[in-house]
Structure 1
Amino acid sequence: MLDYLVFIGRFQPFHLGHLQVVKAALERAGKLIVICGSARQARNPQNPWTVPEREAMLRAALPPEMQDRVFVVGCSDRMYNDQQWVTEVQSLVDKVIAVDTASLGSREAQFKVGIVGSRRSKHTYYLDLFPQWQRVEVPEIAGIHASQVRRNLFADGGAGLCADKLPAPVYESLQAFRTGDIYFNLEAEWRFVQDYRRAWSAAPYPPTFVTVDAVVIHSGHILLVRRKNLPGRGLWALPGGFINQDELVKDAVIRELRDETRLKVPAPVLAGSIRSSRVFDHPHRSLRGRTITHAFLIELTPTGEGLPKVRGGEDTERAKWVPLFEFNRMEAELFEDHFYIVNWFLGQI
């Protein structure tokens, strides 16, 4: 019998399949560490619930005798750096064990740790990133998918929400969730995305969209815009957008940057300030469909006149310079994967 098992997932929401895994895991280990992914992302139709809300669902579904044997912690996504993600998961597990065993005066190395996972699932490649933990197979319930639960939650006002796939307390909490402002905002975004996808559904092949994003750094600040329209209305984002059919990606990023921020820097200076670029192509980076972005790092040289003036454009409510130390606390306010894009570039500076 293992001392601890680790169960990694997003649990959006916690359903009967998850519950069966938790119960089976607790038959094979003394305690279970549940790690909720997408811990600090902004709410969207794919990630509607915060870590505390997901923990509340899980605990509402657990019998009393299991409560003290389950720990729940949140982990950020690291779309473009697996090693950062692995390091955070390892650190979270280490901290949970350290706190849980503090009174014993023992070290983690003396405990047997495993990880829950199935080789039959196509979404568990990450299990190979933890060779130090024993992999434990647990039975799964076929036909239960959180993505389908979310679709039913947002379609037709949630009328088709599937009670047979959810623990009763979770079903009740989702019914209550449907009556709040958060739900109505997410439902509007979900409908926007469905209409967006429907517009190109008749294409002979699913289209791949190409966008650009500008990571503009000046004197320890980064330039952000607040989105005016769906999707991501009200969230902060990098200046950027879709490329036109007749322009190069480098020209597109300068155009979008100037249109969205009214940045008072000549286009030739902006182009000459490009320090590096990278393609960010995670398949799930955008709910709108397969969207590949070309991001450019633009470092502006201080001139002694302070930060250049900026203001919102046609598609943005506002533009502002944000100190980098403050930006690092804004993960839950950023659109799509923009937080991770910026952090990749900051690691190269």
Structure 2
Amino acid sequence: MSTDFDTWFFNNRLPQIRYMMLFTAPLYILYGFVEYRMELHMPELRVFFHALFVPSMLIVILGMTYIPSFIPIMKALLFISPICAVFGNLYLNVGTEAFDYFVPEIYLNIIWTIAMSGLSLRLGIIVVLFNIVITMMFHYYQEFPHPYMYLYCLWMLSSAIFGLVTAIIFRQVNYSIFTHQQKLAKVEDTDSLTHLWNRNAMQRFFHKSYQSQHLPISVMMVDLDYFKQVNDKFGHIVGDSLLVEFAQLLQENLRRSDYVGRFGGEEFCVVMPNTQVTQAQTVAESLLAIIHHHNFNHVEHLTASFGIAQMLPAESFEGVLSRADQALYSAKNDGRNNVKVFVSNASAYA
């Protein structure tokens, strides 16, 4: 599965992690004080470990879910916590008559680790395998090993299988939701005729490019000349096929770093990250020549007009788009089939 899904899946599990920490912490506090009242050996250590140390760690993890920069540390604590809990259980109870009463915590810990803790499947399985190994070691190095040690290990393995099946099904269900959302987003962002991005998608890409790179961005508006006459003469079916053909021509002849979308009718927009206006003008003039020499179906020849503007500091997408649009109208008023560049705020064109 993709890294995009893994990121989406983890972000969607953050509320689950918070609730798990929120409810597990008081359960451990209660656990510690119940142990204390049972008059077992090392009561102070039990209270410290189960009623203070483990709950504190869980609350810290809960707090870190709200701070993105602490997420790597949070994941490390999620890895360490179940190991500490099992180690504490074994250290306090192996070799005592009360051990059988505390074994269920280990089984619950295993299911919790794989299915509910928020760890990835790989890390969850590593933690569980580690806990099974240290459980066997604790028993093996006892002077009188517990006669049911292997039965305990079998139940631990069964708990791991139950947790693993639950986690896999949960992950698959979420993957189905993720892919469905991706398809819906693609439909929402795509022009139904040309399958180019629409205006909303271009706007998001523009802001993403600016925020992530802070490099110069140019915007190019492209309009097919006299396209209404094509529709009137040949009909809208032919007109639609020409728009699809023109969209493919733009895609094939733009740079890999450029992104083209359809804004409606015969108007197209190209967002050009890391591009000065002079570079954008060179690209537009190259496209102008390619369009002029291209043999289109039904009509053979079409021309297009281009308007270009470069983003000003802190300018919105609508702002630079408006200036590129003004340059486009200047190109159309100047006889069409040419390129105009908005060079200043004073409505000057080059």
* TM bucket, shorter chain: under 0.3
Computing the radius of gyration from Cα coordinates, the structure with the larger value is 2
TM-score (ref. length: structure 1): 0.22
| Structure with more strand by fraction | 1
TM-score (ref. length: structure 2): 0.22
Higher relative contact order (CA 8 A, sep 6+): 1
| Structure with more helix by fraction | 2
